[in-house]
Amino acid sequence: MPRLSDVDFTSLQQRRVNYAEQEEIQEQRVERLSAAAVYYGLDFGLVTRYLGHEFTGKWRNVEAIMQRVSPLIDPQDAEHIKRILTEGCPAEFDFEEEHDNKMLFLERGNEPSVEQNQAVVQKTLNEEERNNHIIPFFGWLVFFSACAHHVPQSMLAKPGSKCQFLFSMVQIVRLMDMEDPFQYNTVVTFS
């Protein structure tokens, strides 16, 4: 990690050019993002806020969205949509993971379908990163961050359909032996 503390990551806030032609996730970008994570104490939420723009929905015109949807939906739903657009989701999430549980998830890793479809996985990850839907970091940072957790992934590959990444929240709640962490959040009646 000391090496990352010397990496200049300020270029991450500059507009990305030629992103549409990106064929693989650039190692230099992963290094800069990881350096930003080290700078922000391995708090990946702070890195997301630092990056801003697409990652935080800064470009959205919340007032215009609310003017269009409010007359069409229940007032309570409108308030939730406004909160989601301005504050994020979930409304409340109270969870602290025990170290042994985190290590269990890391040891377990992904489902075999991910390894069996590596070409598709890499293509999908590149597409997601290229379009700023994910933020890649060096994988070993998860071991040192109190804010990082491994969510086991699997691939759904149906003939004639595009492969999809999946995870099961039910499985995670069962393995973590915890109460529903979303119990105080609204029931989603809109999409």
Number of domains into which the chain is organized: 1
- Residue 33 domain-assigned (yes or no): yes
- Residue 29 domain-assigned (yes or no): yes
Looking at residue 173, its pLDDT comes to 56
| pLDDT digit string, tens, across residues 180-189 | 555 556 666 6
Looking at residue 104, its pLDDT comes to 85
User: With 0-12 CB in 10 A as exposed, 13-18 as middle and 19+ as buried, what is 37?
Assistant: buried
Range from 1-15, 81-95, 131-145 carrying the lowest mean pLDDT = 81-95
* Sign of the Cα pseudo-torsion (119, 166, 179, 145, in order): positive
CA dist 1 → 8, 12, 41, 46, 113 (Å):
14, 19, 11, 18, 32
- Residue 21 structural domain: 4-176
Length of the chain: 191
Average pLDDT, the chain: 85
Residue 87: pLDDT over 90? no
- Residue 101 domain-assigned (yes or no): yes
Residue 153: pLDDT over 70? yes
- Residue 191 domain-assigned (yes or no): no
Helices (H), the chain: 27-39, 44-51, 62-69, 75-86, 99-108, 112-116, 118-130, 169-176
Comparison of pLDDT for 109 and 32, the residue scoring more: 32
Looking at residue 25, its pLDDT comes to 95
- Residue 188 domain-assigned (yes or no): no
- Residue 185 domain-assigned (yes or no): no
Residues 6+ apart with CB under 8 A from 128: 134
CB 94 within 8 A of CB 185: no
Rounded Cα distance, 31 and 143, in Å: 17
Query: Closest Cα to residue 81, out of 67, 93, 100, 97?
Result: 67
| pLDDT digit string, tens, across residues 37-84 | 999 999 999 999 999 888 888 788 999 999 999 999 999 999 989 988
- Residue 60 domain-assigned (yes or no): yes
- Residue 183 domain-assigned (yes or no): no
Looking at residue 168, its pLDDT comes to 57
Kindly state the percentage of the chain with pLDDT values over 70: 84
Rounded Cα distance, 174 and 154, in Å: 17
